[in-house]
Amino acid sequence: MLSPDALVERSSAGIAAEIARLVSDGTLSPGERLPTVREVAAALGVSTGTVATAWRALADAGVVASRGRAGTFVHAERREWLSPRVRGLAAPATPGPRTPAPRGLGDGRRLGSAGVLDLSLGTPDPAMLPSLANALGRARPRADTGRYHDLPVLPELHDLLREQWPVRGVEALTVVDGAFDGISRTVDQVVRFGDRVAVESPGFPYIFDLVEAAGGDPLPLDSDADGILPSSLARALARRPSTLILQPRAQNPTGTSMSFDRARRLADVLRTVPGGDRVTVIEDDHSALIATAPAVTLALWIPGQVVHVRGFSKSHGPDLRIAALGGPTAIVERIVRRRMLGPGWTSRLLQAVLLELLSDPRSIAPVRTARLIYRDRLDRLAADLRRLGVDVGTPDGINLWMPVRDERAAVVHLAAEGIAVAAGGPFVIDVPRPEVAGALPPGASGPSPGRDGDGPDAAGGWVRVTAGAVTENFRLVAEALARAAAAAPLS
Record: fold of 132-360: Aspartate Aminotransferase; domain 2 (3.40.640)
Cα–Cα dist 296/4, whole Å: 58
The answer on pLDDT for 276 being more than 80 is yes
pLDDT band at 92 (very low <50, low <70, confident <90, very high): low
Report pLDDT for 478. Answer: 97
CA dihedral 208, 213, 214, 218 (to 10 degrees): 30
pLDDT in tens, 345-383: 898 888 989 999 999 898 899 999 999 999 999 999 999
Cα–Cα dist 153/348, whole Å: 7
CATH architecture of 1-77: Orthogonal Bundle (1.10)
Cα–Cα dist 297/249, whole Å: 10
Q: Which of 149-163, 215-229, 358-372, 474-488 has the lowest mean pLDDT?
A: 149-163
The answer on pLDDT for 294 being more than 60 is yes
Q: Using an 8 Å Cβ cutoff, are 100 and 116 in contact?
A: yes
**Annotated domain spans of the chain:** 1-77, 132-360
Q: Is 126 helix (H, G, I), strand (E, B) or coil?
A: helix
What amino acid occupies position 17?
A
Q: Using an 8 Å Cβ cutoff, are 171 and 325 in contact?
A: no
DSSP 372-428: HHHHHHHHHHHHHHHHTT-------TT-EEEEES-HHHHHHHHHHTTEE-EESGGGS
Cα–Cα dist 180/388, whole Å: 36
The rounded mean pLDDT for the chain is 85
Q: Which of 12-21, 288-297, 381-390 has the lowest mean pLDDT?
A: 12-21
pLDDT in tens, 241-267: 999 999 999 999 999 999 999 999 999
113, 90, 124, 106: which is closest to 478 by C-alpha? Answer: 106
167, 378, 374, 181: which is closest to 287 by C-alpha? Answer: 374
For the chain, the distance separating the N- and C-terminal CA atoms, rounded to the nearest angstrom, is: 20
Give percent of the chain with pLDDT exceeding 90. Answer: 59
Q: Using an 8 Å Cβ cutoff, are 317 and 129 in contact?
A: yes
| Mean pLDDT, residues 390-415 | 94
For residue 264, give every residue at least 6 positions away whose Cβ sits within 8 Å of its Cβ, in sequence order, or none.
300, 301
pLDDT in tens, 441-453: 333 334 444 333 3
Q: Which of 284-288, 297-301, 306-310, 410-414 has the lowest mean pLDDT?
A: 410-414
Report pLDDT for 185. Answer: 96
Cα–Cα dist 59/415, whole Å: 8
